Structure 1
């Protein structure tokens, strides 16, 4: 599964606003199949938004630099 870069949060907000406008139009026109598809897309979009927001709250983990194994000689 793809991970959303937190820098994309403003773009995701734009997409959400567009989808909500499209949903409002679909309701006015009574396009039930379109409403269902938009709702599904909104669910996925909001999940990705929450995931990206969680990533911004996590502190990076420093793993250090790998070092070659030392073999002790007798």
Structure 2
């Protein structure tokens, strides 16, 4: 993504640069969220499946 931003800047594609910067900011924020939540998983109760004859 950094390379695409650099290319867009070289070519003078200002709208493209802006869009890529917004996208990059979103990706960076998502990575921060993932790192903050690492190790904080919670268990999810999936229930006990019923045998085919128990329905």
**TM-score, length of structure 1 as denominator length:** 0.52
Provide structure 2 residue ranges, at least 5 long, that are not aligned to the other structure.
44-55
Provide structure 1 residue ranges, at least 5 long, that are not aligned to the other structure.
1-18, 63-74
> Offset of 1:57 from its aligned partner?
4.8
- The residue that corresponds to 2:10 in the other structure is 28
Give per-residue Cα distances to partners, 1:14-38, cap 9 Å, x unaligned. xxxxx10100000100100000000
Structure ranking higher on relative contact order (CA contacts 8 Å, 6+ apart) = 1
Q: How many residues align?
A: 43
> Which aligned runs of 4 or more in structure 1 are off by greater than 4 angstroms?
none
**TM-score, length of structure 2 as denominator length:** 0.69
> Offset of 1:44 from its aligned partner?
0.5
